[in-house]
Amino acid sequence: MATSERGVTHRQPVDLAHVATGILRSRRDQAAEKGIDIAEHLTPAVTTGDPRLIESLIADLVDNAIRHNHPAGRVVVTTEVSRLGAAITVTNSGPDIPEDQLHRLFQPFQRLSADRNDHHSGHGLGLAIVNAVAEAHHATLTTIARPQGGLTVTVHFVPLPERASPQDAPGVMR
């Protein structure tokens, strides 16, 4: 978290879809053990930033979505590009989250009630790290508590500078 709070000093093109693909591949067994289905809708979504920090952000979003879910739940990961820039959205089923408690999820060491699923793992840092990495990249973080339970988190990264080419991003075919 301290690294991300210092800001991004070195930027390079990063394809959010490419990073998400690798993370999802490494988390599928863990999700399957919990009976959680993972769906992905990944299209190239290139931004610039610190690749390690962006990988950490995506990993923490996916890990949180799996950890705080119901058995036979679902996680959906989407990448896209809009006028706001490249974005990643992670949605999960899970317990109800009161709207007035959403801000706590992004504070270090804050956890909601003890009845949340898999409450013995984690230390309340995952979404705090996501928040710190988003701030370091000047990205916009949007969180919505889903009416049927669970959470939708979207991170919009600022558009690529004119001089950076999407073809320079890791995982982008030429």
- Residue 120: count other Cβ atoms within 10 Å of its Cβ: 5
79 pLDDT more than 70: yes
The answer to whether residue 167 is domain-embedded is no
The answer to whether residue 136 is domain-embedded is yes
164 pLDDT more than 50: no
The answer to whether residue 171 is domain-embedded is no
Give the distance, in angstroms, between the CA of residue 157 and the centroid of all CA atoms in the same chain: 12
What is the share, in percent, of the chain residues with pLDDT greater than 70?
Answer: 75
| Per-residue pLDDT, 161 | 55
62 pLDDT more than 80: yes
Q: How many domains does the chain have?
A: 1
Residues 6+ apart with CB under 8 A from 173: none
User: Which residue range(s) make up the domain with 25?
Assistant: 2-159
Three-class secondary structure of residue 99 per DSSP: helix
CATH number, domain with residue 11? 3.30.565.10
- Residue 41: count other Cβ atoms within 10 Å of its Cβ: 11
Q: Residue 126 to residues 56, 129, 147, 163: CA-CA distances in angstroms?
A: 9, 5, 22, 33
The answer to whether residue 47 is domain-embedded is yes
The answer to whether residue 143 is domain-embedded is yes
| Per-residue pLDDT, 119 | 45
The answer to whether residue 173 is domain-embedded is no
Comparing 118 with 52, which gets the higher pLDDT?
A: 52
